[in-house]
């Protein structure tokens, strides 16, 4: 009886490990390849399909089901444990297409082995015990899956990261196989010895994980990494080269370079303030590094700046990292500034405040979570929190290489607000970057343009010329981006892929 209960517990642990592998591989594919909806959908589909194939194939191994279960756990532990290190290596060594097919292959293999686990154990019971224990085994397998889905976002991702989590759960998986082997035979045999050697190998990799990650990630980011932090929401990386150029990356996407970020932030902040020169209350959505806040503090009439960023880790970086603190000029410590760790969509929905100016300093709409922050429904919430005479401004992506995306933002705003006014400027790290003003009154250019004196880039002439678009950057009609139909993702990913191909990125 003890053996049977031990095997039931083994199903729980096995189910937990397998779901963790599935989540780790899907998250890795999303980070490196992008398009999280497609990656998770295809990889989960492959996982479930291959589980079905594995369950079918298990009938050919029912002559020695416990032995084959042990072999399965040892294989799963090695393949699952090495999955993320292998995918990291492939990403820095081979084209993206190789990484994509590698993700599919690893997921297919893990799914096949996972699908064999429960059937193999059920074959180990006689007909009476099968009827009594099958429901217990299945329930423990599903409970293990639930625990895995809770561990992944709240424990594994923020505290261990993808790389170390795969190695640790590989060790757990192999240890499970050894434990089951010992429960059956009451002694260590050749299989147990092979498992112990495998655990030792994964443990050695785990001990060198920081060194391996540092080398691989510096190949990815091209410059020495000075901060590498995994939050529950994103991977935060800071790099600095010999020229003291500090760059911030979120999930591998460049957010700013210290050598030219002032161009972007001066245009983002000071242009809309031309229409609300007496603004007192300002809301910044995103911008947790507090560079937009730095620019807002150059206007002494502003009394309150609320900065809403979903990731509290970004606020910690803006306040505690010496390089970022130097760049933002300690803006996060100013008493006018209130840092609010909350999702921008939910904040606007629940807020009863009214602002003179709302600034959306958000990442590009590269996935479903970000695409909703460029939707008609989001802009309706912005409008709800904007004073009648207020102005809204949002970053609007590259106006040349992602022109459909840019125009989709402009047109979606135009569906909500009475008036929109796009403008652009050149930021060397990014290209011709677009912004869009929106308000419920005609946005005629102010007769008098007054700017703070201590700006590094923006002047009166540039402020006026930034609203002029050359002939090869068309302002055209697109469909409206909505929560129900987030087509802006397709626009963005299609244009981004085309840009990479033209630039011989791969």
The neighbour count for residue 501, using CB atoms within 10 Å, is: 10
3-state helix, strand, coil in the chain (%, to 5): 60, 15, 25
Tokens of 258: 């210290």
Residue 469 near residue 475 (C-beta atoms within 8 A): yes
pLDDT in tens, the chain (506 residues): 455 666 777 888 888 999 999 999 999 998 888 767 788 899 999 999 999 999 999 999 988 888 888 999 999 999 999 999 999 999 888 888 899 999 999 999 999 999 998 888 778 765 555 555 666 777 777 888 899 999 998 899 888 889 999 999 999 999 999 988 887 766 667 888 899 999 999 999 999 998 888 888 878 888 899 999 988 888 899 999 988 999 999 988 899 999 999 999 999 999 999 999 999 999 999 999 999 999 999 999 999 999 999 999 999 999 999 999 999 999 999 999 999 999 999 999 999 999 999 999 999 998 888 999 999 999 999 999 999 999 999 999 999 999 999 999 999 999 999 999 999 999 999 999 999 999 999 999 998 899 999 899 999 999 999 999 999 898 899 999 999 999 999 999 888 877 766 654 44
Q: Cα(281)–Cα(273) distance, rounded to whole angstroms? A: 12
- Among residues 492, 422, 383, 448, the alpha carbon closest in space to that of 267 is found at 422
Span 260-282, pLDDT tens digits: 999 999 999 999 999 999 999 99
Is 343 among the annotated ligand-binding positions?
Answer: yes
Residue 144 near residue 136 (C-beta atoms within 8 A): no
| Size of the chain, expressed as the number of residues it contains | 506
Domains in the chain, please, with CATH?
1-220 (1.20.1250), 225-254 (no CATH), 260-503 (3.40.50.150)
Catalytic residue list:
361
Is 344 among the annotated ligand-binding positions?
Answer: yes
Tokens of 221: 């980011």
The neighbour count for residue 312, using CB atoms within 10 Å, is: 16
The per-residue pLDDT of the chain, averaged, comes to: 91
What distance lies between CA 497 and its chain's CA centroid?
Answer: 18
pTM of the model: 0.83
Question: Which residue in this structure is represented by tokens 């370079």?
Answer: 257
Strands 337-341 and 304-309: parallel
What burial letters (b/e) apply to 263-285, b meaning 16+ CB within 10 Å? bbbbbbbbbbbbbbeebebbbbb
Report angle CA 44, 499, 437 to the nearest 5 degrees: 95
Q: Cα(159)–Cα(190) distance, rounded to whole angstroms? A: 35
Is 438 among the annotated ligand-binding positions?
Answer: no
């Amino acid at each position: 009886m003890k053996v049977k209960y031990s095997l039931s517990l083994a199903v729980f642990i096995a189910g937990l490990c397998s779901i963790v592998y599935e989540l780790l591989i899907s998250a890795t594919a999303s980070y490196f390849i992008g398009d999280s909806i497609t990656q998770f959908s295809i990889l989960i589909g492959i996982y479930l399909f291959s589980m079905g194939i594995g369950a079918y194939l298990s009938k050919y191994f029912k002559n020695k089901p416990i032995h084959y279960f042990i072999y399965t756990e040892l294989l799963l532990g090695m393949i699952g444990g090495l999955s993320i290190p292998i995918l990291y290596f492939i990403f820095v060594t081979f084209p993206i297409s190789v990484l994509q097919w590698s993700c599919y292959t690893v997921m297919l293999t893990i799914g096949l082995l996972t699908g064999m686990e429960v059937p193999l154990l059920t074959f180990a019971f006689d007909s009476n015990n099968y009827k009594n224990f099958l429901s217990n085994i299945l329930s423990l397998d599903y409970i293990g899956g639930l625990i895995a889905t809770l561990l992944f976002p709240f424990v594994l991702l923020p505290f261990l990261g993808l790389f170390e989590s795969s190695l640790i759960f590989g060790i757990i998986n192999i240890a499970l196989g050894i434990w089951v082997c010992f429960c059956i035979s009451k002694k260590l045999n050749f299989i147990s010895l092979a498992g112990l050697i495998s655990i030792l190998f994964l443990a050695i990799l785990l001990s060198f994980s920081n060194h391996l990650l540092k080398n691989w990630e510096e190949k990815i980011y091209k410059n020495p990494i000075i901060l590498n932090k995994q939050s529950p929401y994103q991977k935060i990386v800071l790099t600095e080269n010999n020229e003291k150029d500090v760059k911030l990356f979120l999930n591998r996407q460049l957010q700013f370079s210290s050598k030219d970020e002032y161009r972007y932030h001066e245009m983002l902040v000071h242009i809309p303030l031309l229409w609300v020169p007496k603004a007192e209350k300002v809301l910044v959505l995103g911008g947790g590094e507090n560079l937009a806040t730095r620019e807002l503090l150059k206007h002494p009439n502003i009394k309150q700046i609320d900065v809403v960023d979903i990731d509290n880790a970004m606020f910690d970086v803006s306040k505690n990292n010496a390089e970022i603190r130097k760049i933002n000029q300690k803006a996060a410590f100013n008493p006018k500034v209130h840092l609010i760790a909350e999702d921008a969509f939910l904040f606007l929905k629940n807020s009863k405040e009214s602002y003179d100016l709302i600034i959306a300093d958000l990442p590009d709409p590269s996935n479903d979570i970000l695409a909703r922050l460029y939707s008609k429904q989001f802009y309706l919430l912005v409008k709800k929190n904007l004073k009648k005479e207020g102005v809204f401004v949002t970053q609007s992506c590259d106006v040349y290489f992602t022109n459909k995306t840019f125009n989709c933002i402009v047109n979606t705003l135009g569906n909500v607000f009475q008036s929109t006014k796009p403008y652009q400027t050149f930021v060397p790290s990014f290209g011709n970057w677009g912004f869009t003003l929106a308000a419920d009154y005609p946005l005629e250019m102010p007769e008098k343009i007054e700017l703070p004196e201590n700006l590094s880039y923006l002047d009166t002439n540039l402020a006026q010329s930034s609203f002029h678009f050359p002939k090869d950057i068309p302002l055209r009609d697109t469909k409206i981006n909505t929560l129900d139909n987030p087509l802006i993702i397709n626009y963005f990913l299609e244009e981004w892929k085309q840009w990479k191909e033209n630039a011989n990125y791969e």
